[in-house]
Amino acid sequence: MKFEKQTTYPKISVIIPNYNYGNYIEETICSVINQNYQNLELIVIDGGSTDNSVEIIKKYQSKINYWISESDAGQADAINRGLQVATGDYLAFINSDDTYLSNAFNEIFSSKKSLESDFIYGDVMIGEEVLKSKPNRTNKNDFNLFSLIQFYYSAAYVIPSQSVFIKREFLLKNKLNSLNTNLHFCMDLDWYCRISRCKPKVYKYKKIHSFFRINENTKTVKQSFKMKEEAMKIAFYYIEFLSVQEKNHFFRIRLLEFILYKIYHLELKPNLYFLIKIIYKTNFFAIKDRRFLGLIKKQVLFK
């Protein structure tokens, strides 16, 4: 049976947390209101910015359903405040320096697969500006706990928060309608881990509909070590929920990461025999890692 085109689209609540991102927030707000989506709720939670952010928010307040500007406990707390007032069928949050691409909402929610799903996500464009950005596609198509916690090991396992839409009914039913305010870098990773344990219906759309901006204040650039450390803590918290086989895989990957860190940090030059042993020790996970393959290549080419 052919799926008939929607006449009424689900209500989408978009939350924009912000603190002193006046250089970018206008572009973020406009990327939402210019979607021309007929069933939209826009929420802006400002943490008491001291730059021109509030001035920009007021400029668009006729298009904003709810906004506040007051001190909060950080990004997770700001998003939680937005989640508390959101009334949409699907909830999303986007950082105040990122954007949605043109006609994203209409295209995503014209899909039957989207409407049947609890958790919807995709890949992103990445760069300093939208027009100069490039696709950042990953091979990650599995939304499960084992895959999610590998983010500490490789960014290839990331779920871009800019691309995510979650059914509000699913969150409320499973008591998942808040992020952990004790986390400051990977609060979304922890959220997705908790969501994955409740077995949502998941859909990954193929076309890219959002943009992740790299700038001097981006957490993943400025504080990458702290982010990795927090991601590691999250991973070790959730390994108890993995199967025995997944736990074995996790520690083999952990071993690989430790070895690679030692090799590159200490500038070691392992021989081919040692590298082959690592392949077996890590149950062949090593041959999926570009850093490890680079070491093999050096041995083969320059032996």
What's the pLDDT band for 219 if we cut at 50, 70, 90? low
pLDDT digits (tens, 9 = 90+) for 11-60: 999 999 999 999 999 999 999 999 999 999 999 999 999 999 999 999 99
Positive/negative CA dihedral, 22, 28, 34, 36:
negative
Q: Does the structure show a pLDDT above 80 at 211?
A: yes
List of residues 6+ apart from 36 with CB closer than 8 A: 103, 106
What pLDDT is attached to residue 298?
A: 83
Q: Are 111 and 121 in contact (CB under 8 A)?
A: no
What pLDDT is attached to residue 299?
A: 80
List of residues 6+ apart from 298 with CB closer than 8 A: none
Q: What percentage of the chain carries pLDDT values higher than 70? A: 93
CA distance 156 to 164: 16
What's the pLDDT band for 1 if we cut at 50, 70, 90? very low
pTM reported for the whole predicted model: 0.90
What pLDDT is attached to residue 42?
A: 98
What's the pLDDT band for 222 if we cut at 50, 70, 90? low
What pLDDT is attached to residue 7?
A: 55
- Beta strand 90-93 with 124-127 is unpaired
Token digits of residue 173: 């039913």
What's the pLDDT band for 3 if we cut at 50, 70, 90? very low
What pLDDT is attached to residue 6?
A: 53
What's the pLDDT band for 2 if we cut at 50, 70, 90? very low
First-to-final CA distance of the chain: 61
Helices (H) and strands (E) in the chain, counts: 13, 11
Superfamily of domain 12-223: Spore Coat Polysaccharide Biosynthesis Protein SpsA; Chain A (3.90.550.10)
Going from N- to C-terminal start, the domains of the chain cover: 12-223, 243-302
Q: What is the mean pLDDT of residues 247-273?
A: 92
Reference 193, options 246, 144, 245, 142; nearest CA is 144
CA distance 92 to 164: 6
**Among the residues of the chain, which ranges form H helices?**
25-33, 53-59, 75-85, 104-108, 112-115, 145-148, 168-173, 187-196, 219-222, 224-238, 244-265, 272-281, 290-302
pLDDT digits (tens, 9 = 90+) for 166-181: 999 999 999 999 999 9
